Amino acid sequence: MSKVLSTGYVRLAALLIVCLLATGCPPVGSSAEAGVAPSGVVASGPAGTSIVALIFNGGPGPNTVRFVQELRALLIPATFFFSGDSLAQDPSDARDVKRSGSEIGGSSYSEVDLQSLSTPQVVAEISRGQTVFRRTLGLAPIWFQPPYGDVDARVAGIISSLGLRTVTWSINSNDLTSPNPAQIIETVRSGVTGGSIVLFHDEGGNPNVTLAALAKLVADLKYRGFRFGTLDQLFGLAKLPPCVPNERRLFESSGIHQAAGPIYQFWLSRLCRGISLGPATSLQSAAKDGVISQNFAQTGRQIAYNPSTGSVRIVLMWSWGSKIFSSKKIKPKYGDPITRAWFARYFAGDDEGPALTAEHTYGKVVAQRFVHGWAVESAKHVVSWESNFRTKA
């Protein structure tokens, strides 16, 4: 067996191990109450949702298309806010956003602080911006973001009277001033919850830093069970797209047509977290104790559903595990510390190779030799890995 697993499989397997150990993930697939338009100034979505909305300010501009392409690659939509004067100067990049499936929101024409203007001036600023959107893109955005997020009750009332929804944000990623991706990621991770509206910028700052942070952050939040949507999708005003296109076909690609029920929903929840168990490779079958299971042989996993308790869990297909553990008919021991440690390393991408010997006791320790090293179990059942154990064998 190769020392290094393929990149895609390592990533899949490592995420799978971590996710099985994780707790506290929000429910996947929960959504806002359909058709409830928010009123007043909105800074976050409804409670109980797993959706996070990413919003982008600063464009349109030369870097906007880079963010659109990255969002497509990550299979998530977002909401881009443009001011009227920026849109008038660079409409082509805004059209890329419109075609991409992301949402477009508006702002005033000149990004002036609306609180400093008289009521007629505020109306004129907003109306002028909306006119640019209609003439340039053929749409009039409903979501309105006051420049810099500065808004008071008077301005919010004017915006509402014009039929627009005022939105700010619950988390500022600080991507304009952060020197590296890690700082942006930590800023967002430390405060994100279901319903968060997270501010980024597609123009201004260092787009390379923001894009690098975005890719890692989305993968992390997906693993934690969050979904991503536009503002309309966050509030249930539009349907949330599937987390992965054609997910039903992925499940049924081996010819097993059972994409429904608790096992499928469990499989889909993992897929939405970036963890693919592969297609179903057997029909569902019920054991004597009533537990229903289904095989996913490409990743050596089985999903088991207990109707009496409602619990669903992933288990290792033991026949598959035995084949990869050793080609010398040395069987893994169910529940054994060394066996558990070997599979944990295997799925984390650090494959020690198949077993060459059975377990043997050497004094107070138990050791087993593998192609690329030794597993040594202490008297306290802690397993360590050593490259050379021959002097003790």
- Which pLDDT tens digit goes with each residue over 363-385? 889 999 999 999 999 999 999 99
Tell me the three state secondary structure of residue 261: helix
Residue 95 has pLDDT above 50, yes or no: yes
Q: Which amino acid belongs to residue 44?
A: S
Percent residues over pLDDT 90 in the chain: 62
Confidence of residue 36 (pLDDT cuts 50, 70, 90): low
Distance, CA of 241 to CA of 239 (rounded, Å): 6
- Write down the pLDDT at residue 12: 35
> Is the model more confident about 364 or about 193?
193
pLDDT at 390: 63
* Whole-number percent of the chain with pLDDT over 70: 89
User: What pTM did the predictor assign?
Assistant: 0.73
Domain annotation for the chain: domains and CATH numbers: 29-234 (3.20.20.370), 247-319 (no CATH), 325-386 (no CATH)
pLDDT digit string (tens) for 235-248? Answer: 999 998 888 888 99
- Taking only the tens place, the pLDDT of each residue in 130-180 is 999 999 999 989 999 999 999 999 999 999 999 999 999 999 999 999 999
pLDDT, one tens digit per residue, over 112-124 is 999 999 999 999 9
Res 35: pLDDT? 55
Residues in Cβ contact with 239 at an 8 Å cutoff, skipping those fewer than 6 apart: 233
For the cut 70, the answer to whether the pLDDT of residue 3 exceeds it is no
Q: How many CA atoms lie within 13 A of 28 on its CB side?
A: 18
Closest Cα to residue 128, out of 100, 107, 114? 107
Cα–Cα distances in angstroms (integers) from residue 392 to residues 83, 311, 357, 360, 367, in the given order: 72, 45, 15, 11, 10
- Which amino acid, 277? L
Sorted by sequence, the CB contacts under 8 Å of residue 268 that are 6+ apart come out as 28, 29, 243, 247, 251
* 29 burial via Cβ count (<10 Å: 0-12, 13-18, 19+): middle
Q: How many CB atoms lie within 10 A of CB 21?
A: 8
- Specify the 3-state DSSP secondary structure of 315: strand
The CA distance from 39 to 70, in Å, is 32
